[in-house]
Structure 1
Amino acid sequence: MNPISILRHGLVLVTLLVASQAQAVEILHWDRKPLPVDLPVGSERVIVLDRNVRVGLPREIADAETLRVQSAGGAIYLKANKPFDTQRVRIQDVETNEVILFDLTAREKGASDEEIQVVFPDGEPADANSSTSDATSSSEKTDRQSSDASQGHTPVPVVLTRYAAQSLYAPTRTIEPVRGINRVALRLPDRMPSLLPALPVTATPIAAWKLDGWVVTAVRLANRDPSRAFELDPRWLQGDLYSATFMHPTLGQRGSVRDTTTAFIVTRGQPLAQALPLSNSSDGGVSASFEDGVRVGGDS
């Protein structure tokens, strides 16, 4: 094919791509004011920022039954499972700690499911709460470098577990940045009966993160028995697992304030979906917990 033909075909492809995007993308310009986003209940909507980000949700919508949130490849995937009033959400750039604010509202009717592209002004940071001075930027860079150095002496499974717990339950401003960590797709069913077959517990995956070949998956455990409470032991978990850490040492009877907790399960070289046994039999591998463990707690 001669150069003219190549150029002609290239222009055709670019034209088609631009036309396609123009029909399916809503453009929002970040100018330090919260960006309003309506979510259609039951349908996924994608927000593209072209940045590696973490999402900070208010308590009112910080559960998968209300809002499912996934982040990958510079995009955020949002699916509202029930309507909710406007909630302020913080989106933080992992590399720079810059913050973008969104006002999310989930509606039964009238909300578009078009992809959203966020456009940032040239040369301006996205942080709605930080100074733009060089001194501040230098300080943040130094803090991140110190954090990276300290992580070199901490086992990756511990770093992952701590980061996952902070991401789900700590205020966004307190989350310790970890270079190289990424949120990954779960690729798990809504229920995992083979994970803890010995107990009447419903296991629901929440989110997963990856670092240096290790994966941590946060799993919500809910007791289905209204008359019994259970001590939690990581050795009861089935699968090719490296470690497990529970938010609480016990699981209260169904209907009590402690009938639900979260397990942070670490796998090596494979996601949890591949580490689970194929059936509910008790032949799967037995997990092990760290000798010292990682204690995690709720919002502080």
Structure 2
Amino acid sequence: MNPLSIICHGIVLLTLLVATQAQAVEILHWDRKPLPVDLPVGSERVIVLDRNVRVGLPREIASVDTLRVQSAAGAIYLKANKPFDTQRVRIQDVETNEVVLFDLTAKESGASDEEIQVVFPDGGSADASDSASADSSSSGKADRQAGEATQAHTPVPVVLTRYAAQSLYAPTRTLEPVQGINRVAMRLPERMPSLLPSLPVTATPMAAWKFNGWVVTAVRLLNRDPSRAFELDPRWLQGDLYSATFMHPTLGQRGSVRDTTTAFIVTRGQPLAQALPLSDLADGGVSASFEEGIRVGGDS
């Protein structure tokens, strides 16, 4: 074998090795026993469940300064910003109400950042993918109907709100574009305290879409009160808003699986940044648009 051939073989072997390492996945089997997960401080780790879930954090790690939790397309993204001892976290399937328990521990060293795939005893992880594929045609049909309904004078806010909810909480592979709807930059602060000033709620912008002069903005709402739950009423929202839809009618006390929900806020002729009370826009830096939010599920 000549030197050039040896080099080529070495490159191929190295490429395969790197690809194998990049695609490494840790498999965890849910058998009703808490699943131990170590998190590397400062690095993100992904847990794939292929399910629409809510995340319930214990009070000890419920701050973004300790643990950042985001979710999209059936995956949970965890980033520990400081080390912490083992804490039990509840992940609840919003469709079946099944609860999966994780024992999370954040470590300065010795924790892997490999992706984790959770396998359920009924084959739920694999079946979920098959089910999503089977439902793809019906989901696509629904999206096409939404586009047709818009042309048939169905209210644009309804179509926009439905599309935004599906974009955030339906599997990406099942979402088909609706002609004329485009993702837009939000230009919003990271927190909007005057949006719901009467409640101890943290409002965080997630993403925005525009269509024919209308804009819908998804805003994550987190209850900061560990002792009280609240009914949600769109009339409590402050600003020059056209309409608002909540994923859930109530917001549970902090630390519960229902302490987070999403509001889809529609504005007409202007983005939410221009419709908010001026105090919000004067409160700090502008956040970048991001897709991931706590995945809460539900129907719009």
Normalising to structure 1: TM-score of the pair? Answer: 0.49
Which of the pair has the greater relative contact order for Cα pairs under 8 Å at 6+ separation? Answer: 2
Normalising to structure 2: TM-score of the pair? Answer: 0.49
